[in-house]
Amino acid sequence: ATIPQLLRETVAAHGDAEALVFCESGQRLTYNTFAQEVDRCAAGLLSLGVTQGDRVGIWSPNRLEWVLTQFATARIGALLVNINPAYRLSELEYALNKVGCRVLVTACSFKSSDYVGMIRELAPELGRDGPLASARLPELRHVVVMGDDVPPEMIAFTELTGRATPALLVRLDGIEAGLTPSDPINIQFTSGTTGMPKGATLSHFNIVNNARFVTDRIALTPADRLVIPVPLYHCFGMVMGVLGAVSKGAKMIFPGEGFTPAQTLDAIAAEGATACYGVPTMFVAMLQELDRQHRDLSTLRTGIMAGALCPIEVMKRVNRDMHMREVTICYGMTETSPVSFQSFTDDPTEKRCETVGRIHPHLEVKLVDAEGNTVPVGEKGELWTRGYSVMAGYWGDEAATEASITDGWMHTGDLGVLDAEGFCTIVGRVKDMIIRGGENIYPREIEEFLIRHPEVSDVQVFGIPDDTFGEEVCAWVVLKPGSTLAAESLRDHCKGQIAHFKIPRHVRIVTDLPLTATGKPQKFVMRDRMQEMLR
Ligand code: ATP
Ligand code: MG
| Residue-wise pLDDT tens digits, 209-261 | 999 999 999 999 999 999 999 999 999 999 999 999 999 999 999 999 999 99
pLDDT at 419: 96
Confidence class for position 195, pLDDT limits 50, 70, 90:
confident
ipTM reported for the complex, 2 dp: 0.99
Report yes or no: 177 and 48 within 8 Å, Cβ to Cβ: no
pLDDT at 306: 97
Residue 179, CB half-sphere, CA atoms under 13 Å: how many?
27
- What residues contact 368, with CB distance under 8 A and at least 6 apart? 374, 375, 381, 382, 384
pLDDT at 129: 56
Q: Is the CB of 308 under 6 A from ligand 1?
A: yes
Q: What is the mean pLDDT of residues 361-385?
A: 96
Give just the sign of the alpha carbon dihedral 220, 226, 232, 234.
negative
CA of 534 to the centre of ligand 2 (A): 28
Q: Is the CB of 242 under 6 A from ligand 1?
A: no
Q: What is the mean pLDDT of residues 93-104?
A: 95
Q: Which atom of ligand 1 is nearest to the CA of 335?
A: 10
Q: Is the CB of 304 under 6 A from ligand 1?
A: no
pLDDT at 126: 79
Q: What is the mean pLDDT of residues 24-42?
A: 98
Q: Which secondary structure element, helix H or strand E, spans residue 435, and what is its range?
A: strand 434-436
CA of 331 to the centre of ligand 2 (A): 12
Q: Residue length, the chain?
A: 535
Confidence class for position 192, pLDDT limits 50, 70, 90:
confident
With helix as H, strand as E and coil as C, how does 67-109 read? HHHHHHHHHCCCEEEEECCCCCHHHHHHHHHHHCEEEEEEECC
Share of the chain above pLDDT 90, in %: 93
Torsion angle (degrees, nearest 10) of CA 289, 225, 220, 519: -40
Confidence class for position 97, pLDDT limits 50, 70, 90:
very high
Confidence class for position 420, pLDDT limits 50, 70, 90:
very high
Between 366 and 177, where is the model more confident?
366
Q: What is the mean pLDDT of residues 405-431?
A: 96
Nearest ligand to the C-alpha of residue 230? 1
253 - beta bridge partners? 21, 227
Confidence class for position 191, pLDDT limits 50, 70, 90:
confident
Which residue, by CA, sits nearest to atom 13 of ligand 1?
333
Confidence class for position 125, pLDDT limits 50, 70, 90:
confident
CA of 146 to the centre of ligand 1 (A): 30
Residue 9 neighbours by CB distance under 10 Å: 14
- What residues contact 372, with CB distance under 8 A and at least 6 apart? 406
Report yes or no: 93 and 101 within 8 Å, Cβ to Cβ: no
Cα gap 295→297, rounded to integer Å? 6
Confidence class for position 128, pLDDT limits 50, 70, 90:
low
pLDDT at 196: 81
Which residue, by CA, sits nearest to atom 30 of ligand 1?
308
Least reliable range by pLDDT among 21-35, 109-123, 378-392: 109-123
CA of 192 to the centre of ligand 1 (A): 9
CA of 307 to the centre of ligand 2 (A): 10
Which residue, by CA, sits nearest to atom 31 of ligand 1?
308
Which residue, by CA, sits nearest to atom 3 of ligand 1?
192
Cα gap 47→44, rounded to integer Å? 5
The angle at the Cα of 377, spanning 376 to 382, to the nearest 5 degrees, equals: 70
From 310, 329, 334, mutation site for ligand 1 pocket: most ligand atoms within 8 A of C-beta: 334
Buried b (16+ CB within 10 A) or exposed e, 138-169: eebbbbbbbbeebeebbbbbbebbebbeeebe
pLDDT at 518: 86
Where in 197-307 does DSSP place strands (E)?
199-203, 225-227, 251-254, 275-278, 302-306
Specify the DSSP class assigned to residue 113.
Answer: B
Q: How many helices (H) and strands (E) does the chain have?
A: 18, 27
- What residues contact 222, with CB distance under 8 A and at least 6 apart? 13, 14, 17, 248, 249, 250
The angle at the Cα of 472, spanning 471 to 473, to the nearest 5 degrees, equals: 130
Q: Which atom of ligand 1 is nearest to the CA of 192?
A: 3
CA of 114 to the centre of ligand 2 (A): 28
Report yes or no: 429 and 414 within 8 Å, Cβ to Cβ: yes
From 94, 304, 328, 331, mutation site for ligand 1 pocket: most ligand atoms within 8 A of C-beta: 331
Q: Is the CB of 109 under 6 A from ligand 1?
A: no
Confidence class for position 197, pLDDT limits 50, 70, 90:
confident
Nearest ligand to the C-alpha of residue 192? 1
